[in-house]
Amino acid sequence: MSNNEKRQALGRGARRAARDSRGFTLLEIMVVVIIIGTIAGLVGVNVLNRLEEAKVRAAKIQLSTFRDALDMFKIDNGFYPDSGQGLMALVAPPTTGRTATGFRSTGYLRDNKLPLDPWGNPYNYVCQDGYNFQVWSNGPSGRPGADDNIYP
């Protein structure tokens, strides 16, 4: 084999190697994209379900905190705040001791703030007689009386 034939053979081999390593075909890329999309879809649904479960758990914990704070309020005052005073009675007024509303409030909630539920809505509170109360969240729908309302 002459030098010229060797160069041509090397040239054919180099051209074949270049042709074989040009990249992925459109079909290969589409298969990979479909696989990644399927995995992302499955993972995304599970993550969103976990997020909603975490919000429900957070609301139940906050409702339990309200119940404890309301019990402390009753120990200090002898009654639970009425529906008109609501949960705002658990937030300390700027002055201590008896207030214009006639009850003592020492700040039963951390940072003296009344938090919203995990969906950004206020919690609900009802007390008609000063001795029995109910506190709840309207849940993800934000509608009172819906099936997704959350109670402690």
142 located within any domain: no
Is position 28 within any domain? yes
44: domain range? 24-136
Q: What is the CATH number of the domain that holds 77?
A: 3.30.700.10
Residue 8 inside a domain? The answer is no
**Residue 38, in any domain of the structure:** yes
pTM: 0.65
Q: How many domains does the chain contain in total?
A: 1
56 found inside a domain: yes
pLDDT in tens, 98-132: 454 556 666 788 888 899 999 999 999 999 888 89
Q: Are strands 133-136 and 124-127 parallel, antiparallel or unpaired?
A: antiparallel
Whether residue 32 lies inside any domain: the answer is yes
Q: Tell me the C-alpha distance between 123 and 66, whole Å.
A: 10
Asked if residue 35 is part of any domain, the answer here is yes
- Band of residue 97 on the pLDDT scale cut at 50, 70, 90: very low
